[in-house]
Structure 1
Amino acid sequence: MNGDRWATVVGFVGAGLVLAALVWVVGIGDILSELREIEVQYLLVILGVAVVWLFLWGMALRTVLGALDAPLSIGMSGFVFAGAVFSNNVTPFGQAGGEPVSGYLISRATDREYETGLAAIASVDALHFVPSIGYAVVGLTFVLAGAAQFGRNLIFATTALVTLAVGIPAAAYFGWQYRYELEATVVRAVTPIIRTLGRVVPRKSPPTAEAIERRIEGFFAAIERVATSRTTMLEAVGFSALGWLAMCTSLWLSVYALGYTVPFSAVLLVVPMGAVAGMTPLPGGLGGVDAVLIALLVSTTGISGGVAGAAVLVHRGATYVFPTVVGGGVAFALGVGD
């Protein structure tokens, strides 16, 4: 556990350095000048929109858990999802690094096996890509239609979007077609690693190969249950799509609070592209996400770097800092740090 904490500390130090460099490049004086103009009521509205986003994505998680016979109340869904956001935001590589902790948290909240919680959060995170790509395509279409020039940042966004739009469906298709072969490969690769860890961890007996295989099979079976339920998929994607709209609204309102109005189509592109940077080896993509959001806001809307920087700080305060604080309390209550 101490090693994990040191990794988290080092990650946040790295993220802090990236953020400091970003603010220095944009201009701290310009950013502070813009932030002084924001009225408190705007901040409260933006925070309220962030709460709506958490609730909607919590409902997507609740929908998937319902298909896995792991009921979660409507009231708890947002809090449990906030806990998952917390684990993503304090571990490197965002969702990829935080999912194991999120799975444990969900299993504690629903009193189900760990593989059920892991399958639920993995399914939800995968489903979030569907509406995000759709919104990004719509946003890019409108942005390119009104772009005076095809700058470097727009080239980056277009390339990244095409890669995601082609790569993710292809990976999903082949992963599904060869799911049993994939399951067997995971069992062969993971079993010796888990048994080795079980032998070196104090007060823990190494699990048998059969027990490991049974739990991995349980994980893949849960994934299959979600993937074969059309009602679950449609409902979860619907909540996800509404959640993405709330997140885009948060960024749009953050710019509006500074006295500027930008096309909503621009934020439909900017927010999903910023989420891609969450896979950087920094806690929750902190620093990387902010840099992409600022760069694309300036490129797609023509606002200054100072305005974009101030708006992104407000937006990320509502969608990164706030859920991390709330989710940290949820994780503590569920004993994740024990």
Structure 2
Amino acid sequence: MIRGGNLRATLVGFAGALVALAALSLLVGIEDILGALSLADPSVIFVVIAVAVCWLTAWGLSLRTVLGVLGAPITAPVAVLVFAGATFANNVTPFGQAGGEPVSALLVSRASDSEYETGLAAIASVDALNFVPSIILALIGLGYFATRITFGENLLLVSAVVVGFAIALLLAVYFGWTNRYRVERVAVDTLTPLARRVGGVVPGLSPPSRAGLERRIEGFFTAVERVGTNPRGLLLALCFSAAGWVGLATSLWLSLFALGHTVPAAVVLVAIPAGAMAGVTPLPGGLGGVETVLGVLVTATTGGIPAATVLAAVLIHRGATYALPTVVGGATAAVLADR
């Protein structure tokens, strides 16, 4: 599924992520981090892993809900495994969701026996819906801090990023949808000659016609419209999404608790969505960037916890929420790729 230039890009991305993690560890102190990890409560770490499974299940059920609206129903266990496969694709390709979206759509379409554009509409809808609860939870956390402490430079920056991201997302959705036919024309004009050049180079590959591309893009927009005009499905998917975000926040909170520290819920409610935004960095799954943002925010909003302990907690959290879906999702992707 990952070949040629994509493989090279992935390897370069992981090399960059390792450099970022190494630099962060050296800055904080590797021995201090290892010392903090050695004090972690194994029973709590087991609960962290269980919570990570709950998060993955919640977002898998959100995908199942959207596919049900699109007339491509799948069972709950399959939905969870497919979402793990989609997460795997995001975690091993640069730019996170943006890089893994085409592969994720392929996995979804194969698992649900639907057209590719249906799979793309489903995973794109889930990813877009996931931003809504994250922004709300982050604003709730920031509202708590506004009543308790004076905002420092880091929190002011986070507040600006969260609000700016929310506004940019709303504007992008509005203008993208109202100009969807123009987007379709531009996409067809761009992809048609590109597909012909690829078809001329790759043996046995028949490039789609212009009419075929138009049909698929129109099918994508039609599928997205079906999701957007189904209030019950939207509400249910948003509830599953919110439950997933709460699971992610709980995972980070428990990771700190495993090291002997209890923090206000607002700390993780702000840190988790802000860390997810760092996933847009050109690193596989935001590896390295997410850890840095989480470490900086938790340290800035707690004050009394040593940076090495914070980073150790972040590594426990990411071990459960990055490594687990990557392993499970990789196996799922391999099975679906052979179908």
Where in structure 2 are the equivalents of 1:1-338 lying within 5 Å?
A: 1-147=3-149, 149-302=150-303, 303-335=305-337
Q: Matches of 1:33 and 1:278 in 2, distance apart?
A: 28
Give me the CA root mean square deviation. 1.2
Task: Give the superposition deviation at 1:173.
Answer: 1.7
* In structure 2, C-alpha distance between the alignment counterparts of 1:207 and 1:179, rounded to whole Å: 21
Q: Deviations over 1:25-64 (max 9, x none)?
A: 1111211111111122111100000000000000000000
Kept in 2: contact 1:183–1:220 (CA 8 A) = no
Amino acid at match of 1:47: I
Report the Cα distance in structure 2 between the residues aligned to 1:138 and 1:217, rounded to whole angstroms. Answer: 38
Distance in structure 1 (CA, Å) of the matches to 2:196 and 2:245: 40
Amino acid at match of 1:111: D
Shift of 1:185: 2.5
Deviations 1:12-32 (A, max 9, x none): 111001000011111112111
- TM-score normalised per structure 1: 0.97
Comparing 300-309 with 79-88, greater Cα deviation is found at 300-309
Alpha-carbon distance in structure 2 between the residues aligned to 1:129 and 1:328 = 24
Aligned residue for 2:124, secondary structure, equals helix
Tell whether the 8 Å contact from 1:153 to 1:299 is kept in structure 2 after alignment. yes
Q: Give the Cα separation in 2 of the matches to 1:229 and 1:194.
A: 34
Q: Structure 1: which 5+ runs fail to align?
A: none
Q: Alignment partner of 2:337: what SS?
A: coil
Separation in 2, partners of 1:227, 1:199: 38
Q: CA deviation at 1:158?
A: 1.1
Q: Distance in 1 between matches of 2:233 and 2:182?
A: 25
Q: For 2:205 and 2:185, how far apart are their aligned partners in 1? A: 26
Separation in structure 2 between the aligned mates of residue 186 and residue 208 of structure 1, nearest angstrom? 13
Post-superposition Cα deviations, 1:272-316, rounded to whole Å, max 9, x if no partner, equal 000000000000000000000000000111122111100000000
Q: Quick check: 1:83–1:324 contact (8 Å CA) kept in 2? A: yes
Deviates more, 1:212-221 or 1:170-179: 170-179
8 Å Cα contact 2:279/2:287 also seen in 1: yes
Amino acid at match of 2:62: A
Contact 1:157 1:273 in 2 (8 A): yes
Aligned residues: 336
State the alpha-carbon separation in 1 of the partners of residues 34 and 153 from structure 2: 27
Is the 8 Å Cα contact of residues 86 and 323 (structure 1) preserved in structure 2?
yes
Question: Which piece of structure 1 moves more, 24-33 or 94-103?
Answer: 24-33
**CA distance in structure 1 between the aligned counterparts of 2:186 and 2:13, rounded to whole angstroms:** 31
| In 1, Cα distance between equivalents of 2:114 and 2:207 | 22
Superposed displacement of residue 188, structure 1: 2.1
Give the drift of 1:191: 2.1
Equivalent residue letter for 2:153: R
Is the Cα–Cα contact under 8 Å of residues 91 and 284 in structure 2 kept in the other structure? Answer: yes
Q: Name the SS for the 1:202 alignment partner.
A: coil
Return the offset for 1:182.
Answer: 2.2
Identity rate, percent: 55
Greater mean alpha carbon deviation, residues 273-282 or residues 201-210 = 201-210
Q: Distance in 1 between matches of 2:260 and 2:123?
A: 38
Counterpart CA distance in 1 for 2:147 and 2:187 is 45
- Secondary structure of the residue that 1:334 maps to in structure 2? helix
